[in-house]
Structures are given as structure tokens and as C-alpha cells.
């Protein structure tokens, strides 16, 4: 009689596996999105201005700067656009196809980078900063040689 198939082996760390799969999904989405977003033919000078403007806005988010137009920049631009829409402000156009369109995107990014209401919005949505850990309580002083140990323990017990 044939043996039933063995159950599949459980992954060593299922949480890590899920995080890895999510990261792969994000990377694939960014790559696929890069084909439709920021896929125009832009002058090198405007690309540099775009990257600078995007990095000024990313600093408000506490994010690492991007170096060029690519999947990271697309993902960052989508994040900025989403936040701008949530704040009720003009969002950068994700479908800029030429230099004129990219100039408009740069203008929107520069506006967001200096907009006080956008900064307030981002601060209000930022994760709560961890409170400072409580200060350690002072250790009770060691009993002097003549004190009774039972009295010391009773004192600590609140008796």
C-alpha cells in the first residue's frame, strides 16, 4: 500500500516569509509602475531638479533620498501624491510624459515641500513617538549590619 504524501514542511519563520513576499510584491509593483509612471523622455537638467524637489518632500516624511528616476522614485512619488490628496492639496501628476509635464510635477513638489499645512498634516499623521522609558526607581539602601533581616523583608512587603 502506498504511503500518503508527506505534509509540506513548515517554514522556519512564517512571519519572515510573509514579510519577504510582501517586499517582493512591492518591488514588482514599483517596477511595473515605473513603466507607466515617469516614463517620458526628460532632459537631464529637469531630472536633476525633479530628484532634488522629490528629496525635499521626502525629508518631511523622514525617508531616505532617491538618486534617480527609477522604482524607488516612483514609489516615493506615489506616497507623496497619496499624502497630498489625503491633505486636500494638489498632488503631483504621476503620468508626466515630457519636460513640460515634469516641470509641473517639480512645481507641485516644491510647493508641498514648503507648504505649512502639508507639514502640519504630516506631523499629525506621524506615528506616535515612543515616550521616554520611565526612570528606574532608586534601589532601597542596603541594610546596615545591625538591622534585622525579617524587619527589612517585612518593610519591603508593606507589612
**Do 71 and 37 touch, CB atoms closer than 8 A?**
no
Q: What is the pLDDT of residue 66?
A: 93
Average pLDDT over every residue of 104-108: 94
Q: pLDDT tens-digit profile of 34-86?
A: 445 677 778 899 999 999 999 999 999 999 999 988 889 889 999 999 999 99
Q: What is the pLDDT of residue 76?
A: 93
Q: pLDDT tens-digit profile of 121-148?
A: 998 887 654 444 555 555 555 555 555 6
> What pTM was computed for the model?
0.58
Amino acid at each position: 500500500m502506498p504511503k500518503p504524501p508527506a505534509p509540506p514542511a513548515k517554514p522556519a519563520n512564517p512571519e519572515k516569509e510573509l514579510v519577504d513576499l510582501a517586499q517582493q510584491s512591492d518591488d514588482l509593483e514599483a517596477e511595473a509602475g515605473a513603466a507607466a509612471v515617469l516614463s517620458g523622455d526628460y532632459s537631464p537638467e529637469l531630472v536633476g531638479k525633479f530628484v532634488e524637489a522629490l528629496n525635499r518632500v521626502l525629508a518631511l516624511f523622514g525617508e531616505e533620498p532617491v538618486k534617480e528616476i527609477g522604482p524607488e522614485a516612483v514609489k516615493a512619488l506615489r506616497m507623496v501624491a497619496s499624502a497630498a490628496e489625503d491633505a486636500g492639496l494638489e498632488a503631483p501628476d504621476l503620468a508626466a510624459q515630457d519636460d513640460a509635464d515634469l516641470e509641473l510635477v517639480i512645481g507641485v513638489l516644491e510647493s508641498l515641500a514648503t507648504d505649512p499645512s502639508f507639514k502640519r498634516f504630516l506631523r499629525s499623521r506621524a506615528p506616535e513617538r515612543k515616550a521616554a522609558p520611565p526612570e528606574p526607581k532608586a534601589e532601597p539602601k542596603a541594610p546596615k549590619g545591625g538591622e534585622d533581616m525579617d524587619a527589612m523583608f517585612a518593610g519591603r512587603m508593606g507589612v
